[in-house]
Amino acid sequence: MQQQKVLEQEGKLLPFRKAPDAVQCTLAGVVKLSGAGLFHGVNANVQLLPGSENSGVIFRRTDLSGRPEVLATVENVASAARRTVLAANGAKVETVEHLMAALCGLAIDNCVVEIDGPEVPAMDGSCLPFCEAILETGIDKQSAMRRLCRIREAHAAAGDGGERIEVTPLHQPVSSICYQLDYGTHSPVPVCSFTVSLTPDEFMQEIAGARTFIQEDEIELLRRMGFGRHLTSRDIVVFNNDGTITDNELRWPDEPVRHKILDCIGDLALCGSPFVAQVIAKKTGHRLNHVMASIVSMMSGRGITGNRAA
């Protein structure tokens, strides 16, 4: 947050856009970041490079022979607990959702993500460090029109535990996401809901800084699965069973629901083309988000036959 203020004072941030541009966008230069992944704790260096028109987001594993590429689409989602993993051409990239949210939230269509490890760096658990680095480098407009998928009829997907996600048509040009977080009355994470319009400025102000979190009860389970052994309560917001938070402070009282929206944006970005819809999600996780991304992908023709922006 402080970093953002400094950048604003130095005049390095682009003026936030109220609505996504009608033309496709990419990065104005190279963005470099590095750090340990959230689940495996393995260090990786990431370089975000400008992408050519209509190419989408492509991950490239530079540490593997042949530098295999994995296109960021829902067809390449691999089964994994509590995170989004992409796999293709003999390569895997784990925990892509926060970086995908940063790119989608800032309305960047085309980008090559070079990474020399198996997992995207966790940074501070949010996507703000990605966003700030991208905005400092700048965003370039390209010539090709952005191909929007306008949702024309409602679609819903539901799970066995009351989780549900639906998309409905919108008559305005900007999507909105409403998330209803509800882990039950006994959970230390309070029940709450939040709604945001998917404009770059609202994304930066309300969502980008929301960090991932975990409930005290879940920590041992994850560690037994071999995940997150490197993490401390400074690296991830831990909700204790009594509702207190260890060695950390929330950035907003409702930071968890904002992070669930961040995850939702990152997962739905895998549908392959920007879409215009009202999204209402209740208790969803990555799995159900991917189901909806798949439905939207089928409707959009993965950005190849979708409707052009008005």
233 in Cβ contact with 248 (< 8 Å): yes
Give the nearest distance from C-beta 172 to Zn ion in angstroms. Answer: 27
Give the nearest distance from C-beta 95 to Zn ion in angstroms. Answer: 8
Give the nearest distance from C-beta 184 to Zn ion in angstroms. Answer: 20
Site residues (CB under 5 A) for Zn ion, limited to 248-287: 263
Residue (62 or 193) nearer to Zn ion, CB:
193
From the candidates 98, 259, 286, 290, which is the catalytic residue?
A: 286
Residue 212 engages Zn ion in binding (rule: CB under 5 A): yes
Residue (157 or 265) nearer to Zn ion, CB:
265
- Is-catalytic flag, 286? yes
Helix locations, 30-178, DSSP H: 97-105, 128-137
57 in Cβ contact with 103 (< 8 Å): yes
Closest alpha carbon to 110 in 21, 20, 26, 22:
26
Residue (39 or 59) nearer to Zn ion, CB:
39
* Helices 128-137, 2-9: inter-axial angle, 10-degree rounding: 10
Show the binding pattern over residues 95-124: x = contacts Zn ion (CB under 5 A), - = does not: ------------------------------
Q: Tell me the window of 131-139, 160-168, 182-190, 206-214 that interacts with Zn ion (CB under 5 A).
A: 206-214
- Residues touching Zn ion: how many (CB under 5 A)? 2
CA–CA dist 180, 103 (Å, integer): 23
Q: Tell me the window of 131-139, 207-215, 216-224, 281-289 that interacts with Zn ion (CB under 5 A).
A: 207-215
CA angle 156, 190, 237 (to 5 degrees): 100
Give the nearest distance from C-beta 21 to Zn ion in angstroms. Answer: 27
CA–CA dist 53, 238 (Å, integer): 41
Residue (114 or 263) nearer to Zn ion, CB:
263
CA–CA dist 194, 143 (Å, integer): 35
Q: CA distances (Å), 124 to each of 90, 156, 231, 232, in order?
A: 29, 32, 11, 12
Helix locations, 23-126, DSSP H: 97-105
Closest alpha carbon to 171 in 278, 55, 52, 281:
278
Residue (148 or 210) nearer to Zn ion, CB:
210
Give the nearest distance from C-beta 219 to Zn ion in angstroms. Answer: 16
Query: What are the residues binding Zn ion (CB under 5 A)?
Result: 212, 263
Q: Where in the sequence numbering do the catalytic residues fall? A: 286
